[in-house]
Amino acid sequence: MSSQSMPPTPVLHTSRLVLRPVRSKDAPVIQRRFPRWDVVKWLNTDIPWPYPPDGAATYVARCREEMARGEKSHWAIVPRKGPADLIGLIHLGPDDGSGKDQRGFWLDPEHQGKGLMTEAANRVTDYAFRELGWPCLWLTNAQENHASRRIKEKQGARLVELLISRCVSGPVEQMVWQLSAQDWMARRPA
Ligand SMILES: CC(C)(COP(=O)(O)OP(=O)(O)OC[C@H]1O[C@@H](n2cnc3c(N)ncnc32)[C@H](O)[C@@H]1OP(=O)(O)O)[C@@H](O)C(=O)NCCC(=O)NCCS
């Protein structure tokens, strides 16, 4: 395993959520929940748009290959109190030196605004720093993506720079943040 390689994706728990590795049979629910303008508009242009009928199946196959190669972890976000299927996804990857976002997430709009992604992102961040021992995370969001930006602010990330980037909705100002393990541990003692 190289120093950048990730171990098998573990199941993680929070008070309201189970985060478990993405499975092949998640594709139909992702195909149903994900392709909405409010979900995709601030995501990067890796997302095919309009979303093709096999978009989720292709994506899930890629997630599983990346997990098998130890390149990334991809979790399905499942509420403990139901529904039984996933309501969003969150992923984490090592710093490849390019300043690329190491953590990405989306949630079905029906389940937004309840602090659920703050909870999922906090657990995954704890995993990166306390279990994987990474020194920092590079994080990004479109400046106008206030919910995603707020999660970084609440976590104590430091704004490093603003870049012009492309997302599904077109060119945007992108905020690049760094969150250090040291700052994280100081704010959130184990
Ligand atoms: C980003 C996203 C995952 C947030 O999920 P969520 O579960 O609704 O987030 P939370 O409920 O944990 O809220 C996060 C914070 O953002 C705030 N927030 C949410 N929408 C906001 C808005 N439009 N303006 C300002 N703040 C906003 C919340 O109030 C909360 O801050 P607070 O705790 O200080 O009140 C969700 O909006 C989403 O799926 N968006 C589409 C995909 C996406 O953009 N992913 C990120 C790409 S970088």
The answer to whether residue 34 is domain-embedded is yes
pLDDT in tens, 64-90: 999 999 999 999 999 999 989 999 999
pLDDT of 3 reads: 52
Ligand 1: residue of 43, 44, 107, 163 to mutate (most ligand atoms within 8 A of CB) is: 107
Ligand 1 centre and the CA of 38: distance in Å?
12
The answer to whether residue 114 is domain-embedded is yes
97: CATH: 3.40.630.30
The answer to whether residue 153 is domain-embedded is no
What confidence tier does 120 reach under pLDDT thresholds 50, 70, 90?
A: very high
106 with 136: CB under 8 angstroms?
A: no
The answer to whether residue 166 is domain-embedded is no
- Regarding the beta carbon of 148 and ligand 1, being less than 6 Å apart is answered yes
Total tally of structural domains belonging to the chain = 1
Residue 39 CA, distance from chain mean position = 13
Count CB-CB contacts under 10 A for residue 63.
Answer: 25
In this prediction, residues 102-125 reach a mean pLDDT of: 98
Ligand 1 centre and the CA of 145: distance in Å?
8
pLDDT of 2 reads: 43
Higher-confidence position of 78 and 5: 78
Domain of residue 91: give its range: 12-134
C-alpha to C-alpha distance for 36 and 30, rounded to whole angstroms: 11
pLDDT of 166 reads: 95
